[in-house]
Amino acid sequence: MNESDSKDWTSIKIKPMENMKWVEKEVEAAMSSFEGLQRAEAPHFLFTRVEASLSKTGKGFWYNFALFLSRPVVTIAMVLAILCLNTLAYYNNDDVVVTIADDEHAFAGEYSMVNNTTQDESVYTLNEDQ
C-alpha cells in the first residue's frame, strides 16, 4: 500500500497549489497503471464456433421425434389407431375364456400334485426311506 492510500484525505486541508500538484500526481499514477495493457482479443473464428454450437443444439433424434408427434394430424391418427386396436382386442377376446379352476387343474396335472382337502394331511407325501 502506498502512503497515500492509508490516509483519510477528507480530513486534510490542502492549499490550492499543493492540491493541483497532488491531483497531477494521482493522475500520473493512474495513467501509468495503464502501461503494458493490450486490447482483449477473442480466439480466431470464435463467433463462428458459437453460432455453430447454438444452431446444433436441440436438433437431435428426440427433438425431431417430439416435433413429429406434436403435429395435430399425427396425434389424431395415433389416438384413432389406439382406439381401433382396443376395440379389436375387446371383440376378439370372447374366444379365450379360461377359468381359474382350469388353470389350477392344469398346474396340478403338470407337476403331479396331490389334491388334498383336509388340513391334517400335507400336500406332499413324505418318503419314508430317507
Q: Does position 90 have pLDDT exceeding 50, yes or no?
A: yes
What's the Rg (C-alpha) of the chain?
45
Give per-residue pLDDT as tens, 2-34.
Answer: 555 555 666 666 666 677 888 888 888 888 888
List the grid coordinates of 121: 394331511
Is pLDDT larger for residue 3 or for residue 56?
A: 56
Residue 1 has a pLDDT of: 47
pLDDT confidence bin for 94, thresholds 50/70/90: low
By three-state DSSP, how is residue 90 classified?
Answer: helix
Nearest residue to 60 (alpha-carbon basis) of 68, 48, 71: 68
Whether the model clears a pTM of 0.75, i.e. scores above it, the answer is no
Is pLDDT larger for residue 35 or for residue 85?
A: 85
What is the identity of the amino acid at 26? E
Q: Does position 52 have pLDDT exceeding 80, yes or no?
A: yes
List the grid coordinates of 76: 389424431
- Dist CA 117 CA 130 (whole Å): 26
